[in-house]
Structure formats: C-alpha cells, structure tokens
Amino acid sequence: MKRSNLNATIVSLGLALWILFGMPSSVLAQASVSGLEPGVSKLSELLTPKKELPTTANAVFEGPVDPETFQLGPGDLLNIFLWRPTVTQFPVRINAEGEAVIPTVGPVKVAGISLSEAKEAIFRKIRERFSGAEVTVSLDEVRQFRVHVCGAVAMPGSYLVPATARVADAILLAGGLLRRSRAEWDTTSVVVASQRRIQVIASQTATAPRPVDLLLFERAGETKANPYLQDGDVIWAPFKQEGPSAVGVFGGVSAPGVFEYVPGDHVASLIKLAGGALASAKVSESYLVRANGERLPISDPLTQEIEVQPGDRLYVPIELEKQQFGTATIKGEVAQPGSYPVEIGRTTLRQVLEAAGGVLPTAAANSARLVRAPSEFRDAEKSRLLRPREVRAPLGETSFDAELRAAYERWLGTTVVLDLSQLLETENPTDDIVLQDGDVLEIPKQPLGVRIVGCVNQSGETAYYPDWNLDDYLRAVGGVSRGGWKSQTRVVKASTGSVVLYSSKVRLDPGDIVFVPSKQPTTAWTQIKDGVSVVSQVATIVLIVLTASK
C-alpha cells in the first residue's frame, strides 16, 4: 500500500472515531446554545434542525410590504440612500430604544409607527441637515420579536417570530390548538380549543384585544381574521364553548353544520363559514330561525347586515329540480373502469355495470363499496349517536355510547358495502340501486376484512372468512381484554351502517365493524346492594310459595 493511501486511511479512521466519541459533547454544547434539547440519544436528531419560522435574514413575505400598515420596531433594518448633495448609503438598524440613528444626521424615533410615517420623519430630519436633499428609504430586513401563546394549546410558552408572522404561525409553533381523543381507546382526536374566539392582547399599548377567527380564515380565506403579530403580543386561545348558543347553517351550502357562536356574527359570515352558497341554492328564499322559534325571512343574506343571535339556524333552500343528469364512477375490477353519465333518480347500478363491460371474474363481488355524498344510509340509531350533544335526549343513552360514537365517526357514514353477486345472478329489480350524481363504486380484488375495535387485546382488521363467528374473530385479535363486555358486543353492518347486538343469528360480512364495549366499574357497595336485592327477591318468592301451599 502506498504511503499516501495509508495516511488517507489513518485520517479517515481518526475522523470516524472523533464523530463517534468526541463529537456528541461538542454538539450537545452547541445544542444548548441553539435551542436544541440536550440528552437526545440519536446523533441524527442533534444534526437535524428544528422546524422554525423563517428568520429575519430569510423571512418569507406574502407580497410587498404595505407601508401604510406595517409598523416598525427594534431590529428592523432600513436602507437609506442619499442622492443629493452626495451619493451615500446608510444601512440603519432600529435600536432597542426604537430609534434609527443616521450618521451625520442624528436619531429619529420610528418604532411603533408605520413605514410610511417613518419615511416622512426621516425625510424631515435629513432635510434639516442637508437642504434640498433627495432621499430614498427602504425596508431591507424585518425584525424578530417574542410573543406569548397561552391557553388551550399543546405547548404554551414564549416564541420568537419574524414580523411577517400571523397568529396561526405562532399557534403552530406552540404545537397547535389543543386536541383530545374521541374515546380512551381511540387514536383519532378532535379539537377542544376554540378556533373562533382567540384573542391577541397587545402588551405595548392599552388597546382592546384583537379578535381572531381561524375557522373563518380557514374556510373563507379572510386574512383579517388571522392578523399580523406585534412585539410582545399575548395570544389567548380559550376552550371551545359547546351548548345551545351554537349557530348553524343548513341547506344549499358547501359544508353545512353547527358552529361556535361569536358576538358580531352576521348572516353573510355564517355562509362563509359553511363554504359559500351552492349554485343550486335559492339564496333569495333563505330564512333565519331564532332560538325562540321566530322565523325571519332574508332576501339577500350575502349583503344584508343582519346580526346573528346565539342559537340561530340559517336555512338556504335548494333548487332540487335544477339538476337532472350527473356522473357515476366505477373503479376496480370491471372491464372498462371510468365515469359514466347517469340520469338522477332513474339510472340503476346494473345499467352502469353493463355500460362498464361487467364485473371481472377476479373481483371480490361481496366487497363492493358504494360511496355517496348524502346520508341516505344512516339509520335512526346512528343519528341518535351522532346528532349534536346539546339536543340529545337523555333517555335511551347507554353507558358506552361515547365509545360507540367514536367507532361510528371513524366509519364512513356515507359508504356502504354491497354484495354484487346476488344482484348479478338474480337480476331482481328490488336488489338494484338507483344512482345519484357523484356516486363512486369501488370493486376490489380481495374481500374486505372485518374490523375489531374496543376492549380487545389487538384491535385492527382481520381477513374475512365466510364460516367464522364472533369467537373466531376475537381469537384472531388475541381475545377480549380485561374489562371487556363480550355479551354486549355490537356489530356495525357495512351494508347499512346500522348497529345490532351480536348473537348467533347475526352473520358477519366483509367490511363489518365488531365493537366490544367496556364494562362499567362496580364498587363493593354496589355488589352488596345487588346481593341484598337478589336475596330479598328469592325470599319473597319462597314466602309466596309457602303461603299458596297452605
């Protein structure tokens, strides 16, 4: 081996040993300075930068800065060009006292005023020193400052943001709005923080808190609902208020639903929250129903400044006869997958399958999934579980409704599983389905599995077997866990979405969900009371028998 190659090998080996044994301590020291947490076990985690907002040097702008609204503060970098009487450039960074100190001219107070006002102040100051001077002032870099995020966020605290940051950016740095799981065993979650009643409190001035409506920003793109931040702002995210004060929008809108009420809501803002009016909506026939039952007609809800009250519901009628033809899409195991025209209310599933060349022999005909936007397949039990909490009747509530509701919400309520084999073999018109606009039929190669959730040792989906019963599927997932209530097992039928109590007469089909609820905790006193009740009932029966035998 040549001496040069030997030296290179020694250098490479020494570098590798330094990375393995000498580098972590230095990197940890550097991490404590740069903000990374010490004690990270993996070297890759130390070398991977944190996700942060852009710094002042590479801040990302939404567009040109508006000189009339952008307020300057300590840290902003101004570039001052003096064209006459001589050509001179002064890069000036605003100091901690809020002044721009211009060489040969002096300090100018610019913090807390707009960029346009700062330009005028600098022009006057320079012209006092140089008569007839021509000056150009530009903003080269924006400052960074600290804001405080409090309330219902994942990681409350103080965060460093650039002057181009909005409220949503700071909340993202704080880990986002607070969420909680739908049920103790569920992996999905819902936002429990308010998206509409966030406030920004200015620490530098005594002005009133600025309202923030991130839901309106998300749904309608209104940037004024997600304002820019100022130095030292305190962002307060309260918890969501649920109850009869919620307002709703239903009918001819893109995303109907119930929303948290915010003082100052108008009819137009409700329609924006619901994604806007549909083309088929009869907007001029809209009406508002007050919480006391009063019905208020609204001829032009998009422009009329009608303030909404807590508990109001807005209804936008739809022109149902306007659309006569639509499109249905067939995916998967058919001869010619694609989209096909349908006459709404008349074209059937069999007709579209024939137009697509029929189902292939490789198809799992018992696992076809029909995805439909409306909720025709939701039964009364599902409606009872999914309707808003404030209008739910206490009667009929079971002890495990919260867990069962979470199972329903994870299941697509607008999807049903069809067994096409019976439809294709019998050609019975009663088994056919009339298609709607936007229907999607998915025909897979492999049958859908059976999903087991709830109090089982290994929840998840297992393969479907026609001859398996509940015990077989429970064995496949490790059995019922401690505290599981097997005798109260429910089955969410994929063909209808209905819920049934499992028994030997219930057949498990592809796509079904088996839900094993948890037993309610019992105390020693409860067991004593139950035992006393049983003993008293037995004693009563014995007494009746003895009396009758005399």
Residue labelled with tokens 């399958």: 353
Chain Cα centroid distance, residue 449 = 27
CATH architecture of 325-516: Roll (3.10)
Are 337 and 307 in contact by the 8 Å Cβ rule? The answer is no
Angle at 233 between CA 228 and CA 235, to 5 degrees: 85
pLDDT surpassing 80 at residue 548: no
User: How would you write 461-516 as a 3-class SS string?
Assistant: EECCCCCCCHHHHHHHCCCECCCECHHHCEEECCCCCCEEECCCCCCCCCCCEEEE
Q: Each residue of 60-73: pLDDT tens digit?
A: 677 788 888 888 98
Proportion of the chain in helix, strand, coil states, percent, rounded to 5:
30, 25, 45
Q: What is the CA radius of gyration of the chain?
A: 34
DSSP conformational letter for 439: -
Residue 370: pLDDT band by 50, 70, 90 thresholds? Answer: confident
Name 13's Cβ contacts closer than 8 Å, sequence gap at least 6. Answer: none
DSSP structure string for 326-389 = EEEEEEESBSS-EEEEEETTT-BHHHHHHHTT-B-TTS-GGGEEEE-SS-TT--HHHHHHHS-G
Give the whole-angstrom CA distance, residue 31 versus residue 49.
Answer: 10
Residue labelled with tokens 């801040």: 59
CA-nearest of 103, 102, 106, 233 to 166 is 233
Give the whole-angstrom CA distance, residue 196 versus residue 273.
Answer: 11
Q: Each residue of 120-170: pLDDT tens digit?
A: 999 999 888 888 888 899 998 899 999 999 999 999 999 999 988 999 999
Q: Where are the domains of the chain?
A: 3-47, 56-141, 145-237, 247-321, 325-516
Question: Which tokens sit at 435?
Answer: 């298609």
Query: CB-based burial of residue 159 (10 Å sphere; 0-12 exposed, 13-18 middle, 19+ buried)?
Result: buried
Give the whole-angstrom CA distance, residue 262 versus residue 210.
Answer: 13
Q: Each residue of 16-58: pLDDT tens digit?
A: 544 444 444 433 333 333 333 333 333 333 333 344 555 545 5
Residue 402: pLDDT band by 50, 70, 90 thresholds? Answer: low
Question: Sheet harboring 234-237: ordered strands across?
Answer: 157-162, 144-151, 234-237, 198-201, 210-212
Are 448 and 370 in contact by the 8 Å Cβ rule? The answer is no
Give the pLDDT of residue 32: 36
pLDDT surpassing 70 at residue 529: no
- In angstroms, the Cα distances linking 444 to 362, 447, 473 are 9, 7, 22
% of the chain surpassing 70 pLDDT: 72
- In angstroms, the Cα distances linking 487 to 17, 76, 407, 498, 527 are 62, 69, 18, 18, 19
Q: Residue range 379-393: average pLDDT? A: 41
Which DSSP helix (H) or strand (E) runs through 403?
A: helix 401-410
- In angstroms, the Cα distances linking 418 to 174, 217, 441 are 45, 40, 9
pLDDT surpassing 70 at residue 423: yes
Q: Each residue of 5-17: pLDDT tens digit?
A: 555 555 455 545 4
Q: Each residue of 165-200: pLDDT tens digit?
A: 999 999 999 999 998 876 666 566 788 999 999 999
DSSP structure string for 4-27 = HHHHHHHHHHHHHHIIIIIHHHHH
Topology match between the domains 145-237 and 325-516: yes
Average pLDDT, rounded, for the chain: 77
Give the pLDDT of residue 209: 92
Least confident of 161-170, 353-362, 365-374: 365-374
CATH of domain 145-237: 3.10.560.10
Q: Each residue of 466-521: pLDDT tens digit?
A: 889 999 999 888 899 888 888 888 888 877 767 788 887 888 888 888 888 888 76
Give the pLDDT of residue 400: 53
Q: How many CB atoms lie within 10 A of CB 373?
A: 11
- Under CATH, what is the fold of the domain 247-321? Outer membrane lipoprotein wza fold like (3.10.560)
Q: How many CB atoms lie within 10 A of CB 538?
A: 10
In CATH terms, the superfamily for domain 56-141 is wza like domain (3.30.1950.10)
Give the pLDDT of residue 27: 38
Give the whole-angstrom CA distance, residue 164 versus residue 55.
Answer: 10
Which DSSP helix (H) or strand (E) runs through 408?
A: helix 401-410
Give the whole-angstrom CA distance, residue 7 versus residue 10.
Answer: 5
- In angstroms, the Cα distances linking 159 to 166, 167, 287, 429, 441 are 13, 12, 45, 65, 49
Give the pLDDT of residue 345: 76
Residue 386: pLDDT band by 50, 70, 90 thresholds? Answer: very low
Name 393's Cβ contacts closer than 8 Å, sequence gap at least 6. Answer: none
Question: Which tokens sit at 113?
Answer: 């005023």
3-class secondary structure, 124: helix
Give the pLDDT of residue 410: 43
DSSP conformational letter for 240: P
Query: CB-based burial of residue 134 (10 Å sphere; 0-12 exposed, 13-18 middle, 19+ buried)?
Result: middle
% of the chain surpassing 90 pLDDT: 23
Rama region for 27: left / alpha / beta (φ>0; ψ in -120 to 50; rest): alpha
Q: Each residue of 71-102: pLDDT tens digit?
A: 898 999 999 998 888 888 889 999 999 999 99
Give the long-range contacts of residues 476-482, CB within 8 A, separation 24 or more: 476/452, 477/452, 480/455, 480/456, 480/516, 481/455, 481/456, 481/457
Give the pLDDT of residue 101: 93
Question: Which tokens sit at 388?
Answer: 């808003």
Least confident of 214-218, 293-297, 422-426: 422-426
Which DSSP helix (H) or strand (E) runs through 162?
A: strand 157-162
Q: How many CB atoms lie within 10 A of CB 475?
A: 11
